């Protein structure tokens, strides 16, 4: 479905824009910030990946966008503009209409996301009935069609099965079918392939891209896996300790990272060549919320950190020629991207060869 510009109150706005999105959790009077001042855009038809390690705030960002932090101890501030409407200001009922009809969601654990007491066809059809106003029979046919599109063989029969009768990869494709059955304008996927085997991950990634292309939907892909990012994203935001530290197109980010954390993550990727016993690492570990250092939050682990410049005061995110970066030394640093040589394992030789 192509969104008509008339639907947007402000036509110059992207499909999704977050402005200074901040989230903190309040526990017995103590406030812990987990996401600080995150601003980004997702254009219609684009796939944006948010990359980060545990504790970076990437999943909380996704939850805030989906309104899943409502009624919890989270304090969410800033603006989340979807097609011109601020999702944070919508009533619960209005948000329900947007979520499902216009925003689909897929999460990491396909077993806990599906209801074990309804057939998979039912759960896909429910989306169509609620959000597209279809009748029972029409919604069921639509669900079967969607299950077929996500590659469930013999979909008309299998739609009558229960989630426990499906493997993890099939369940995740059922989730994808339920999220996409309404042809949403935005798909939010939080680590959708992390619990899957690689052969199944490849299928789910191919499908997601293919379906988004067909429907013109945008995707917000949350992941920690740079291989997945390289496969699916148009643009990438890197998060560290609750902040965005770098933003660029997928090619610029991998070829010429501007933030030392991005460069560090790239060098640590297990898919790339490295010498045994001397694998590249980033020293130390990710600081948890509440333990973020002053100055640049990455400075205690950064090989390029210098006193005062990096250790004092909050660091602003600055625009560069190709994106933006939160590093006071970015103009003077020359950081390595991924090598252009292909590691030997990724060169396809026939299994039958000698």
Q: Closest distance between other proteins and the C-beta of residue 96, in Å? A: 34
CA distance 274 to 171: 36
Stretch that binds other proteins, among 13-21, 31-39, 129-137, 343-351 (CB under 8 A): 343-351
Helix axes 168-180, 136-149, angle to 10 degrees: 130
Contact between 302 and other proteins by CB under 8 A: the answer reads no
Which 158-197 positions form the footprint of other proteins (CB under 8 A)?
165, 167-170, 197
CA distance 123 to 150: 15
What angle (nearest 5°) sits at the alpha carbon of residue 56, between those of residues 51 and 58? 55
Q: Closest distance between other proteins and the C-beta of residue 71, in Å? A: 27
- The sheet carrying 16-27 orders its strands as 30-42, 16-27, 74-82, 85-86
Residue 233 or 317 with smaller CB distance to other proteins: 233
DSSP helix/strand/coil, 281: coil
Count the site residues for other proteins by CB under 8 A: 66
Residue 2 or 167 with smaller CB distance to other proteins: 167
Could you say which of 203, 235, 326, 330 contacts other proteins (CB under 8 A)? 203
CA distance 206 to 193: 11
Phi, psi of 47 (to 5 degrees): -110, 110
For 258, the token pair is 């501007």
Contact between 266 and other proteins by CB under 8 A: the answer reads yes
Residue 12 or 275 with smaller CB distance to other proteins: 275
Contact between 251 and other proteins by CB under 8 A: the answer reads yes
Contact between 2 and other proteins by CB under 8 A: the answer reads no
Contact 280, 267 (CB under 8 A): yes
Contact between 346 and other proteins by CB under 8 A: the answer reads yes
Contact 50, 34 (CB under 8 A): no
Could you say which of 92, 116, 277, 303 contacts other proteins (CB under 8 A)? 277
Contact between 286 and other proteins by CB under 8 A: the answer reads yes
Residue 131 or 203 with smaller CB distance to other proteins: 203
168 Cβ contact list (under 8 Å, min separation 6): 110, 111, 195, 196, 197, 200
Could you say which of 6, 153, 316, 321 contacts other proteins (CB under 8 A)? 153
Q: Closest distance between other proteins and the C-beta of residue 22, in Å? A: 23
Distance of CA 191 to CAs 64, 106, 107, 194, Å? 15, 8, 6, 5
Which 35-64 positions form the footprint of other proteins (CB under 8 A)?
53-54
Stretch that binds other proteins, among 25-33, 110-118, 265-273, 312-320 (CB under 8 A): 265-273
- Binding characters for other proteins, 217-236, by CB under 8 A (x = yes): -------xxxxxxxx-x---
Write the DSSP assignment of 295-352 as a string of letters: SSTTGGG-TT--TTTTTSSPPPPEE-SSSEE--TTTTT-------SSPPGGGS---TT
DSSP helix/strand/coil, 7: helix
Residue 39 or 269 with smaller CB distance to other proteins: 269
Residue 69 or 338 with smaller CB distance to other proteins: 338
Stretch that binds other proteins, among 21-29, 101-109, 117-125, 285-293 (CB under 8 A): 285-293
Interface residues toward other proteins, by CB under 8 A: 53-54, 151, 153, 165, 167-170, 197-199, 201-203, 205-206, 224-231, 233, 250-251, 254-255, 264-266, 268-272, 274, 276-282, 285-286, 288, 301, 338-340, 342-354
């Amino acid at each position: 479905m192509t969104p008509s510009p008339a639907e947007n109150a402000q036509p110059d706005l992207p499909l999704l824009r977050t402005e200074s999105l901040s989230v903190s959790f309040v526990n017995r009077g103590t406030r812990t910030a987990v996401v600080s001042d995150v601003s980004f855009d997702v254009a219609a038809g684009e796939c944006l990946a948010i990359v980060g390690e545990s504790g970076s705030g990437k999943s909380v960002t996704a939850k805030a966008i989906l309104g899943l932090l409502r009624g919890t101890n989270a304090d969410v501030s800033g603006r989340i503009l979807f097609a011109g409407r601020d999702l944070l200001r919508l009533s619960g009922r209005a948000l329900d209409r947007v979520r499902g009809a216009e925003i689909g969601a897929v999460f990491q654990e396909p077993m806990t996301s599906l209801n074990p007491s309804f057939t998979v066809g039912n759960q896909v059809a429910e989306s169509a009935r609620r959000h597209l106003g279809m009748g029972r029979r029409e919604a069921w046919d639509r669900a079967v069609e969607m299950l077929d599109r996500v590659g469930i063989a013999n979909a008309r029969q299998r739609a009558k099965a229960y989630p426990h009768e499906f493997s993890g990869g099939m369940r995740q494709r059922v989730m994808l079918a339920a999220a996409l059955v309404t042809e949403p304008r935005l798909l939010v996927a939080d680590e959708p392939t992390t619990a899957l085997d690689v052969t199944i991950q490849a299928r789910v990634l191919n499908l997601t891209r293919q379906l988004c292309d067909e429907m013109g939907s945008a995707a917000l892909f949350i992941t920690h896996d740079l291989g997945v990012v390289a496969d699916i994203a148009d643009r990438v935001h890197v998060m560290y300790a609750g902040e965005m530290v770098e933003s660029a197109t997928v090619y610029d980010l991998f070829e010429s990272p501007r933030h030392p954390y991005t460069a560090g993550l790239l060098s640590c990727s297990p898919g790339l060549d490295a010498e045994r016993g001397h694998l590249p690492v980033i020293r130390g570990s990710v600081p948890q919320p509440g333990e973020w250092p002053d100055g640049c939050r990455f400075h205690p682990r950064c090989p390029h950190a210098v006193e005062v410049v990096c250790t004092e005061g909050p660091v602003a995110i600055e625009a560069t020629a190709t994106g933006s970066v939160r590093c006071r030394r970015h103009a003077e640093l020359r950081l390595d991207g991924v090598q252009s040589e292909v590691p030997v394992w990724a060169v396809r030789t026939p299994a039958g060869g000698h």
